[in-house]
Amino acid sequence: MLSSKGLTVVDVYQGWCGPCKPVVSLFQKMRIEVGLDLLHFALAEADCLDVLERYRGRCEPTFLFYAIKDEALSDEDEHSSHEKDDGEDEDVVSAAKTCTLAIIKPDAVVHGKADEIIMKIQEAGFDILTDEERTLTEAEMRLFYDRTAGEEAFEKLVHHMCSGPSHLLILTRTEGVEDVVTAWRTLMGPCDPEVARREQPDSLRAQYGTEMPFNAVHGSQDREDASRELALLFPGFKFSDEVLEAPRGESNVQPRLRNTDLD
């Protein structure tokens, strides 16, 4: 990650207190404004890395900044020239970079695993555009899982998803050609944690899930589902053209999802 072009900001945190969450939204806004390729964020626990020994025991937020100066300046100049030519809106995410929804479910959050999962997501090459912690409402979840309302486990799933805070993430990828929706579903693993442990033991559901519906994470099934889910839970987030473009505070997409799994 430190070899990435542009600026990389590392939040060096202490294990007893966790990352500095109050500045996350500020960093996310800055990242959208300056460009996804030029600004990167990462988390690092000082107690787990010998190279960060000098930062252990500090009771104040600590951030390390890394930059490849010449390459970053060159890319920034090129980026600015493109902006002048095409006049694109800086707050709109390019359709060339598809996005998907990821949810770290209440069972993983209540056991203190959210930060570990977020770190694994970043290590796998995903960029987190937004990380919002909040408790989902029953109305949201009934609409979210609308297409599975007739299944036996539906009520249990809705109750679980509203039982405590979740982390709602918007993910994209800046490296490689693999579709972000497919890549995220691969990292999650099979819906059932028991199946995941047998077939994909390194997947997130294998490591952090217990049993259905407590499988730690959720991911959109395809691009259409991703657009609809994001429109429901992030109505103010703008995407360009074929991905999604919704006015702040409104949603033009009717979020009737095509989920076939209670995941």
- State the pLDDT confidence band at 239, using cuts at 50, 70 and 90: low
Amino acid, single-letter form, for residue 213: P
State how many domains the chain has.
2
What is the domain extent for residue 179?
A: 100-233
Catalytic residue among 40, 111, 159, 218: 218
Co-location of 191 and 110 in the same domain: yes
Torsions phi, psi of 21, nearest 5?
-65, -30
Cα 77 to Cα 202: distance, rounded to the nearest angstrom: 41
Co-location of 62 and 179 in the same domain: no
121 vs 9, more confident: 121
**Residue linked to tokens 């707050």:** 91
The domain that holds 220 is classified in CATH as 3.30.70.141
- Tokens coding 163: 């039982």
Amino acid, single-letter form, for residue 50: D
Torsions phi, psi of 56, nearest 5?
-75, 145
Co-location of 50 and 146 in the same domain: no
Co-location of 82 and 130 in the same domain: no
Co-location of 42 and 118 in the same domain: no
Model pLDDT, residue 2 = 54
The answer to whether 218 is a known catalytic residue is: yes
How do strand 100-104 and strand 126-134 relate by DSSP bridges? unpaired
Amino acid, single-letter form, for residue 121: I
Helix, strand, or coil here: 226?
helix
Give residue-wise pLDDT tens across range 70-97. 544 444 444 444 444 444 443 344 444 6
Co-location of 77 and 106 in the same domain: no
Neighbours of 29 (CB within 10 A): 12
